[in-house]
Structure 1
């Protein structure tokens, strides 16, 4: 990496004590357990929601909060926990977070009511915020040599993608053969190897000159992230409304206050800021973060309409649609691992740009393809997109870690993880809102149905799920007409959103190629 693009203190960080290589790779293996745990937990719970609703008599609003409590708390605390790990020790924070996550999972698995389950999910978000930044920042310090670090980051990303693929399969099996609480209880055996062997095999690392913990900054970061994330999720679910717009406004206002405080603390030089905003002045760091955000934006936006197409138009069950996506998720893993040797021949910036172009290519297939030909075309497009996401994410994460000093790797990893959350939310909110608006504008129900003015007809005009439910209650000829109208309206929205995403990802690829073009190939 050229000195021009490295953080000014990146080369002066204290070098870790020499270790046997096998200990480093064993440490990485242990770090995969919390990564796998978080990834599985993110996707498996979805398949338990019907069983939870039946068992706990949860309302629709309670089910929404069971899902949302975790990411809201997680997103609000990522930056604070990443910086805390720099101060008190990343291994210590990882072990505390893992212990807490396992304990809360075990208790929450036996929640007697939806309120207890919501509280448990919030607790999981609290401890989960300690896990992912800690694993990535520990990798930065265990593997200071760029080539080994790049491979370690690729394995880390592969663990996350593999867990996301395993989640639907494992969640469906556990709910079918045991009970919904088993989805949470599985965290205990997954985390035990880390707790047993981590203290001996994972080296501790921290900022050698940590400042005091700035509680007001932590509070401000929470007040900024939680309302913003809530607002984005509500916009994705319900569209523009006063409540989510007000939440977004509060989040932006608190974010402005947070940034002002960080700048004031940095200028005073008496108290270290919670977040070093100077990291964003490094073009490699900021562009790699942008690439991460947009890669997750493209992936989650695609999954949004693909899942609806497979389940509502092709008639697949949630587990069947999850299995159909596994090859594409496996491609994410393969692409990430193949990107490691590739950057020895091709500049990293061009690999990131190429990954983003592949994502654009996936959307291009959807924008011009025939959706009536069955799910094969959409799944092929997802495969192309995942190849791009895998390559772009792996190398951009490596660039993020390599562009900052080792002492600040916790904060950098937390920013990267926050980018993951924001990218996922924006992909769902922005592309989902455009898709919904286009569907509602283009839907033309048969005159007999549209004039009935029933609640079911109204729901059909709002969502594809509503139209599918309405069709099931109608006689065959009319049901076919409603389904055909809904498919046409939905496909028109998919074409529009795919075209927008295509242009956005192509622009991101150009940005990555221009800004990162001087980052040299790996030695």
Structure 2
């Protein structure tokens, strides 16, 4: 037995690796906060810069578009040029773009800065996750490290609006961007000292045709889904054509990846059952959580009448509960297998989503989103480990980028599909409850939005609140069904133990 000891000892992470993990939580928190921090600043910066409605949409969306379009390329690029080098380069670019955004003098300049932030942001997530996979070779230690990483991601997303609200009460809108500067400075100082460099020595050249095809597939699909969701009943031909174009490029991308010796994205990983099952479950959970998040934040503001900052505080338990769930996961897996932990968690999430069908007051809604989110913790913590653990350490960046793409697409689909379903339920309910004698233009406005109904007296307002509550119940029911499907998938993760 003695000759096995040295390698085993070498696989255990030491003090330097754990300190390195602390450094890696900085960009993780930052990228998560940055996604949500801008929503509350939008009215202030719009008034200051004189932005149009379309420009506002671009300021919000361009960051996510660039991350979605480039995360696959950046994950694979990190495998080729080195994860630490890509992380530190991306972080420096993120810091510079943040300062430029804070002092933007026109809507066009702010949109350009947000695009740069998205390009830099695409380097952060896959690099941090790939470095964690390389630094922690022991399965249990890696599980704990990934749980810490996931906790920071969800805590950051929950705290984004709250931090944004606090900053905006005391400073001008640019302060939400300057938040990144001290974090980036700490990363650039500590990173070279504590983070190891890792690259794939056997990686070939980056296939630029695949990069172009991935962008031409992802960006039209994401834009098309968002546009269909935003247009509700009045869908025009344009987003459908754009979606079809993106789909055609996606087919070309997949065919090229399967043909190449050294693809940008190794799609053969989907032949591995654990990889395919976990990724599918993560996308389903992403759809459910994004749809519920969208409806609950609207419910808090339009039906219960909270301000954006108050709504952000009441909504924060959702992100914090995911963070708590991922934190508890390493302790849970001391008692049960990962398969049981993930499946059980998803059943808890389904019960939480079920609570949202009993809507009527604030405590039920907050309890519902908290229970729903808490149950997803094991899936995010252990599922991430399963995905990145199913490839050679040299290819961890590529696997991590697939994971990020899955999360992003789940969220985008959730907003689009469940947002569209809720709008349809709201319209149907309102169509049946508008009293006779209401002018056509008022009826139309009331059927489109709660705000349109509220502005025309208490009778319509009451009907609109009831209709929106019904829409939230419907989304809760769909989310519960999605979690049940994900739980069934996770039951098949491994032979019964």
- State the TM-score, normalized to the length of structure 2: 0.95
CA-based RMSD of the aligned residues comes to 1.8
Structure 2: gaps of 5 or more residues: 1-6
Q: Which residue of 1 aligns with 2:355?
A: 365
After TM superposition, the structure 1 = structure 2 runs for residues 359-438 of structure 1, keeping only pairs within 5 Å, are 359-367=349-357, 369=358, 371-372=359-360, 374-438=361-425
> For the residues of structure 2 that align with 1:254 and 1:133, how far apart are their CA atoms?
24
Q: Secondary structure at the match of 2:40?
A: helix
- Residue 486 and residue 233 in structure 1: after superposition, are their counterparts in 2 closer, same or farther (change >3 A)? same
> For the residues of structure 2 that align with 1:445 and 1:16, how far apart are their CA atoms?
70
39, 42, 57: which one pairs with 1:64?
A: 57
Q: Is the 8 A contact 2:20 2:191 kept in 1?
A: yes
Q: Which residue of 1 aligns with 2:298?
A: 308
Q: Which residue of 2 aligns with 1:173?
A: 166
Q: Is the 8 A contact 1:140 1:406 kept in 2?
A: yes
- Residue 429 and residue 484 in structure 1: after superposition, are their counterparts in 2 closer, same or farther (change >3 A)? same
267, 285, 307: which one pairs with 1:317?
A: 307
Q: Does 1:281 align with 2:247?
A: no
Q: Secondary structure at the match of 1:213?
A: coil
Tell me the CA shift for residue 341 of structure 1. Answer: 2.3
> For the residues of structure 2 that align with 1:234 and 1:340, how far apart are their CA atoms?
40
Q: Does 1:447 align with 2:438?
A: no
Q: Which residue of 1 aligns with 2:89?
A: 96
323, 326, 339: which one pairs with 2:329?
A: 339
Tell me the CA shift for residue 501 of structure 1. Answer: 2.2
- Residue 249 and residue 36 in structure 1: after superposition, are their counterparts in 2 closer, same or farther (change >3 A)? same
> For the residues of structure 2 that align with 1:377 and 1:47, how far apart are their CA atoms?
25
Q: Which residue of 2 aligns with 1:518?
A: 495
Q: Does 1:493 align with 2:468?
A: no
Q: Which residue of 2 aligns with 1:160?
A: 153
Q: Is the 8 A contact 2:62 2:115 kept in 1?
A: yes
Q: Is the 8 A contact 1:350 1:517 kept in 2?
A: no
> For the residues of structure 2 that align with 1:28 and 1:518, how far apart are their CA atoms?
33
- Residue 519 and residue 278 in structure 1: after superposition, are their counterparts in 2 closer, same or farther (change >3 A)? farther
1:367-388, Cα deviation, whole Å (9 max, x unpaired) = 2x1x23x211011000110111
Tell me the CA shift for residue 446 of structure 1. Answer: 4.2
Q: Is the 8 A contact 1:220 1:257 kept in 2?
A: yes
After TM superposition, the structure 1 = structure 2 runs for residues 138-157 of structure 1, keeping only pairs within 5 Å, are 138-157=131-150
> For the residues of structure 1 that align with 2:404 and 2:278, how far apart are their CA atoms?
12
- Residue 23 and residue 391 in structure 1: after superposition, are their counterparts in 2 closer, same or farther (change >3 A)? same
Q: Is the 8 A contact 2:324 2:377 kept in 1?
A: yes
After TM superposition, the structure 1 = structure 2 runs for residues 84-233 of structure 1, keeping only pairs within 5 Å, are 84-233=77-226
Structure 1: gaps of 5 or more residues: 1-13, 267-271, 472-478
Q: Is the 8 A contact 1:233 1:429 kept in 2?
A: yes
